[in-house]
Amino acid sequence: MTPRNLTPSADRKLRRLAGLAGLDPALVRVLASGTWDYDPDPRGEAKGWVEGPPVLEGATDEALAVITSLPEELTRDRAVEEVMAALAAVEEDLLRRELLHAGATGSYRHLSPYATTHFLRHATEDRLASLWRDRPVGRDDLVRDLFLKVFRGGSVDRDDLAYAWTDLVVDLPDVPHAEPVDWLPSVLDAIAGPPIAAGLSELIAAARQHTRGDRHFRQTLLEALSYAGLLEVAGWSRIGRFWPEHQHVLARRSGANEWTVPLRLWAERGGHVTST
């Protein structure tokens, strides 16, 4: 196994990621070990994506407990059953608190369940089964998905059933956090305020005033609000809509297609705030 994330800069980045997620850095290091290498390449940039099993040598008991709690192989039927159960058991108040904590801190880990839950609204067993990968899903894949939850909040992984299972079913340790400031009305008011050029960059600017995180985080946050129906594109109500079935719809401007449906259609079809 090639050693990874050994440099001081890699350690700092993993610790920062862990701090935002409310996780032990030792656990995040294990999750990253088979997925992402922050050690610099000859150009001074992170080496990036890697493949292989997680490195468990020297792992803490907490990290080992998380890894060994994952099944050696996740079946489609189990994933469908347990994601359906998780969606049925959602506590809306808790989900909103996690969203507010995410926006106040820039934590992808706390944003992801809110986004995934609303992305999969109106799921059925058949609809979820259609999101299954065409290959076996083993423990190493699930460890990778857990890292992706912390690393990018499922921003490009959310239409995968195995990711949804790790996001909504697997319990990660957490530390208590203070009741967050309710920034959501301020963001929605900024978007619903005086007419502006209705572009996606303006949505980012509105979110920037009241939330933490970088542009990519705010994009993922705004997409989550659109899945929940708080930001609605004309003709794209969330009522009865299973969002994974619509991600093939493209905007005329290619840059907008870096966003997910429905927000990628915001500029060309018009959108509005449905609740403040």
60-94 tens-digit pLDDT: 999 999 999 999 999 999 999 999 999 999 999 99
pLDDT of 1 reads 64
87: phi > 0 → left, psi -120 to 50 → alpha, else beta; which? Answer: alpha
**Which one has a higher pLDDT value, 42 or 148?**
148
Quick one: average pLDDT of 110-119?
A: 98
CB 184 within 8 A of CB 99: yes
pLDDT of 88 reads 98
266: phi > 0 → left, psi -120 to 50 → alpha, else beta; which? Answer: alpha
CB 175 within 8 A of CB 22: yes
pLDDT of 148 reads 98
Beta-bridge partners for 273: 231
CB 37 within 8 A of CB 10: yes
pTM exceeds 0.75: yes
Outline where DSSP puts E strands in the chain.
36-40, 46-49, 73-74, 137-138, 231-233, 271-273
Residue 171 has pLDDT above 80, yes or no: yes
Quick one: average pLDDT of 198-214?
A: 91
> Per 3-state DSSP, what percentage of the chain is helix, strand, and coil (rounded to 5)?
55, 5, 40
